[in-house]
Structure 1
Amino acid sequence: MPAVLPGGVVCHFDGAVRSESHGAVGFVIRDDNGGVLMVRGISYEGLVDPMVIELMAFRDALRWCVGAGLAGVRFVGDAKVVIDKIHARITRDAKAGAIFQEVYILLDNHLDFSVQFVGRQNNRVAHMVAKKILDLFSTGPGMVLISRHGCVRRSSYCNFVILGNTSDLFRKKKMKGHLYPGL
């Protein structure tokens, strides 16, 4: 795991696609002791380009951290092509130019944020979240947010907030216990 300054946070992000149907993003925010503060996954119907979904994973994580008022966030992902394009400030991209522009605006307004590449092995929890979202929302878009703080809805198994298609989540018997084992 990347080093985090005392009091800082690291945000692992990743995307996953299911050919022909949809993509999903996942991100995990950890504190300076490695404890999980928040897990979020979002499904996007019809979005199947791996580079675009990886960029959207970063954009969604970045938006969330800005909205939460976090400072000094270190973002890490395993999509080297996307991270290299962000560092090079690529703006001309037929598929994702507008998303890159939004990312640059957010980063320019938060100079204490950084983004770096890590190997897939060091990003497996974020990948697991994205893949799980693909399974949960195979019939359409949806979102799952799990947080240890400020939960709107509580379960006897874990604290979480669910927005979107909840019927799939509650129908799955294997969801009892821990929603994301290993966190």
Structure 2
Amino acid sequence: MADKVLPRHSHIEVVIQQAVNLVGEFEKANEISLTPLSSNHWAAQTWEAPPLGVCKINSDVACFRDASTGLGCVVRDHVGDVLLSTCWRSREEYDVDIGEALAARHSLSISLEAGFRKVILETDNLKLLQHVKHRKTQCTSFGLIVKDILYLADSCVFFYVSQVGRMGNGVAHRLAKASIMYDVMRVWMEEVPECAADAVLQDILSLS
């Protein structure tokens, strides 16, 4: 069991908070795409495995009654095996779009740190999909987080962004909700916590 505990005031948290609070000059969207992206907005309702040699990153957000926000992420391979999972709870309250952007940013950052550089970043948030796909950044908290996601994406050997329906994003959502149980960011290598295990199995069974 590889369970890594990171301090709450880690570099990642500092960068995320700076991205939310930063006020800068407006920048036009970069017209150059990272890789060919789907031109439609159809979202699969079940999780679909990535191609061989590529890992899929699913992220999601959960909002709690104590005004904190949970971020969840799972990274899986072409047969659905878990390569990495993580959850982290911010003591700040964000609207859904910003929370989804933070979850994606957190997911991609952790994945890169783990050495995964051929990735599909998958979200159930259409606004986030469109902004990342078209490299659209604005002088807003949401836009600045998207800019950070694009910066991280430029470090990938292969990067693709896709959309999935909420039913197909169950593992990441379980992890986001699980973050309320921990005071620090948690990272699991090649496994998920028990609360998300049945959702992983369900996705694997849906592949057959």
Query: Do they fold alike, i.e. is TM over 0.5?
Result: yes
Task: Tell me how large the CA RMSD over aligned residues is.
Answer: 2.1
- Tell me, what secondary structure is at the counterpart of 2:80? coil
Give the Cα–Cα distance (whole angstroms) in 2 for the partners of residues 26 and 76 of structure 1: 12
Number of the residue aligned with 1:100: 146
Aligned length: 153
Q: Structure 1 pair 120/102, CA: closer, same or farther in 2 (3 Å)?
A: same
Q: Structure 1 pair 30/85, CA: closer, same or farther in 2 (3 Å)?
A: same
5+ residue gaps in structure 1? 149-158, 161-174
Give the Cα–Cα distance (whole angstroms) in 2 for the partners of residues 72 and 145 of structure 1: 20
Within 5 Å, which residues of 2 pair with 1:28-67? 28-67=74-113
Within 5 Å, which residues of 2 pair with 1:1-150? 1-19=47-65, 21-110=67-156, 112-134=158-180, 136-137=181-182, 142-148=184-190
Q: Give the conservation status (yes or no) of the 8 Å contact 1:27–1:41.
A: yes
Q: Give the conservation status (yes or no) of the 8 Å contact 1:18–1:48.
A: no
Q: Give the conservation status (yes or no) of the 8 Å contact 2:49–2:80.
A: no
Give the Cα–Cα distance (whole angstroms) in 2 for the partners of residues 130 and 93 of structure 1: 27
Percent identical among aligned pairs is: 25
Give the Cα–Cα distance (whole angstroms) in 2 for the partners of residues 180 and 126 of structure 1: 8
Q: Give the conservation status (yes or no) of the 8 Å contact 2:75–2:111.
A: no
Tell me by how many angstroms 1:181 deviates.
3.1
Q: Structure 1 pair 60/179, CA: closer, same or farther in 2 (3 Å)?
A: same
Q: Structure 1 pair 145/179, CA: closer, same or farther in 2 (3 Å)?
A: farther
Tell me by how many angstroms 1:19 deviates.
4.6
Paired AA for residue 110 in structure 2? W
4+ residue segments displaced more than 4 Å? none
TM-score normalised according to structure 1 size: 0.75
Residues 55-111 of structure 1, C-alpha deviation per residue, up to 9 Å, x if partnerless?
011111111122222132111111111111211222114222321221111222325
**Larger strand fraction of residues:** 1
Q: Give the conservation status (yes or no) of the 8 Å contact 2:105–2:149.
A: yes
5+ residue gaps in structure 2? 1-46, 201-208
Relative contact order (alpha carbons < 8 A, sep ≥ 6): 1 or 2 greater?
2
Q: Give the conservation status (yes or no) of the 8 Å contact 1:10–1:73.
A: yes
Residues 127-161 of structure 1, C-alpha deviation per residue, up to 9 Å, x if partnerless?
11101213x14xxx52121223xxxxxxxxxx78x
Greater CA drift, 60-69 or 24-33 = 60-69
Tell me by how many angstroms 1:3 deviates.
3.8
Tell me by how many angstroms 1:179 deviates.
4.4
Q: Structure 1 pair 23/31, CA: closer, same or farther in 2 (3 Å)?
A: same
Number of the residue aligned with 2:196: 180
